[in-house]
Amino acid sequence: MIFLTATKKAPPNPIQTLNITKTLISVLLCALCVIQLIRHTDDNNTYTAIYVADIIKIVTFLLSIIIVQIDRRYGRINSLPLFFYWLLMAVTNIIPFYTNFMEKVYETDQTEFGTQCCISILLIIQFFAFCFAEKRGRQGYIDLSKSQTPSLELTASLPSMFSFWWTNKLIWTGYKKTLTESDVNDLHPEDVSSYQVPRFEKAWQQEVERCEQFNKLYISLHGPPKNRNSSIEKTVRVQDNEKSKLLPKHKKEKGDEEEKDDSPLKKPSLVRVLFKVYGLELVCLQITRTCFDLLSFVTPKITEALLAYIQGEKRDNEIWKGYLLATSYFVVSSITSICSNQILNRNKRLGMHIKCSITAAIYKKALTISNEAKRESTLGEIVNLMSVDCQRLENVMNYCYIFFSAPFQISIALYMLYDQIGVATFAGLGVVLILMPMNTIVSVSLRKFNRQMMKLKDRRIRLMNELLNGMK
């Protein structure tokens, strides 16, 4: 985490009250843990685990001080690891505090109980301190030609980002009056085309150079390929030019049959480029989404445990189990809701980034090809590429997680059903298997009709363009 922070350099944040408070509380917690460690050392009946726990707390508190200052030095206003660390510390500290209170330690060892109370209070204050975002420092010279209303997400705190609370300002403004362009803040810097398109073009250029090197090496070793659809001029240099085709598979002058290029020479792969630019983020999102989808199976188990607790004999020292199970409902539901919405938001933004890059590439290609190359691709095909195909790439980001999570969810669901109703589970499984061929037939038919619809749409747009040109 320190490495990732240090790699993203930004103007340092000013030393402010919030930063000083975080540092001071960590110092006080470290001092209190040292006091506890010294007192435990004097007690011969203390277990080794107590010493280890005190030492780990001291080290983590010192590390927290270092990370807070590193974040300030490199311009970070939030720290996700520290936020969850202090949240877990505040929650888990309830157990030793409750234990000392129930055992009436305040009567036998007031120093120990007082120290524990101070630690609990400081942990809660520290957690709430990390619920606020620090103020950013000066961002250098201000470009007056650009908008001075940056995205509210850049200054939002972690709880605000988790709950999308930072959007309330825009919603409230729209409630009071009709929104105008000046009321809307800028996009997040990572969502603008000036950031995404250069990343894609750089990766595309590297892919083009890779194919060029392979093709030159292949021709030097094996000679030019003897392929009626390929020529040396056409395959050695795969760099785009004004005469290269807009579409990878062009149609013949008559008929709708596609020419097959069986040349051994390589061509740039769009899928490879997209995976190189966005693949890591996509895989991380899908794995995370799959893990949190599995939380949906926790609720039935909590319900089962709660019913068993209600039906069983309750003792006075086991009442805490009922409170714990009831609280688990709220915790699991909150975690599932927050994480699902955050991952859905990231998936939509990732799809938007891919659509932006592909659309820019098509625009660039459509503006640079010659009239001779344009004859191979109709205007309708070009419009469909930008309006339909790019939109499908954006939409598929919202559903591709099913390929990862569906097998796990189906397996766990079948296991839990079998555990409850036994052999009857296989009857439901049989119905699902019977419906699979029907779903396949429907999908193939829809794909066929959609392909025909796109061809008709190509012709319609082309005729409309010719009609408008004739009217001019």
For the segment 257-299, what is each residue's pLDDT rounded down to a tens digit? 444 556 778 888 888 999 999 999 988 888 888 888 888 888 8
Burial class (CB in 10 A: 0-12, 13-18, 19+), 427: exposed
Q: Which of 370, 376, 385 is nearest to 252 (CA)?
A: 376
- Beta partners for residue 251, in sequence order: 258
Q: What average pLDDT score do residues 126-152 get?
A: 77
Which of the two residues, 250 and 402, has the higher pLDDT score? 402
Q: Please report, as a single letter, which amino acid is at residue 6.
A: A
Lowest mean pLDDT among 63-77, 95-109, 226-240, 427-441: 226-240
Residue 52 has pLDDT above 50, yes or no: yes
The residue among 123, 117, 140 whose CA lies nearest residue 60 is 123
Rounded to 10 deg, the angle between the 193-222 and 270-293 helix axes is 120
Neighbours of 242 (CB within 10 A): 13
How close are the terminal C-alpha atoms of the chain, in Å?
Answer: 62
Report d(CA 411, CA 405) in Å as an integer. 10
Task: List the single range of 12-21, 146-155, 231-240, 376-385 with lowest mean pLDDT.
Answer: 231-240
Return the sign of the alpha-carbon dihedral for residues 89, 343, 131, 190.
Answer: positive
168: helix, strand or coil:
helix
Tokens (6 digits) for 396: 């598929």
Say which residues have a Cβ less than 8 Å from residue 390's Cβ, sequence separation at least 6: 355, 358, 359, 362
Residue carrying structure tokens 């926790």: 298
Among 78, 62, 192, 179, smallest CA distance to 130 is for 78
Across 273-429, the runs of DSSP E, i.e. the strands, are none
Distance CA 327, CA 316 (A): 19
CB 106 within 8 A of CB 113: yes
User: DSSP labels for 293-318?
Assistant: HGGGGHHHHHHHHHHHHHHS---GGG
Are 84 and 60 in contact, with CB atoms under 8 Å apart?
no
Question: Is the pLDDT higher at 14 or at 23?
Answer: 23
Q: How confident is the model at residue 168 (pLDDT cuts 50, 70, 90)?
A: very high
Query: Average model confidence (pLDDT) for the chain?
Result: 81
The pLDDT-based confidence of 7 (bands split at 50, 70, 90) is low
Check if the beta carbon of residue 404 is closer than 8 Å to that of residue 286.
yes
The rounded Cα 418 to chain-centroid distance in angstroms is: 34
Please tell me whether the overall predicted TM-score, pTM, comes out greater than 0.75 for this model: yes
Q: How many helices (H) and strands (E) does the chain have?
A: 19, 0
What pLDDT sits at residue 353?
A: 92
Instruction: Decide if 93 contacts 127 (C-beta within 8 A).
Output: no
The answer to whether residue 125 scores a pLDDT higher than 90 is yes
Percentage of the chain lying above the pLDDT 90 cut = 24
Does the pLDDT value for residue 70 go beyond 70? Answer: yes
Q: Identify whether the C-beta of residue 77 lies closer than 8 Å to the C-beta of residue 136.
A: yes
Angle between helical axes of 80-92 and 48-73 (0-180°, round to 10): 150
What pLDDT, on the 0 to 100 scale, is given for residue 102? 83
Structure-token match 């080290």, residue found: 59
Checking if the pLDDT of 86 tops 90, the result is: yes
Residue 377 structure tokens: 């691709």
Q: What is the DSSP string of 113-146?
A: HHHHHHHHHHHHHHHHHTTSPPPP---SS--TTS
Mean pLDDT across the stretch 300-329?
A: 82
8: helix, coil or strand?
A: coil
Among the residue ranges 80-89, 364-373, 436-445, the one predicted with the least confidence is 364-373
Residue-by-residue DSSP string for 224-278: S---TT--HHHHS--S--TTS-SSSSPBPSSSSPBPP---SS----HHHHHHHHH
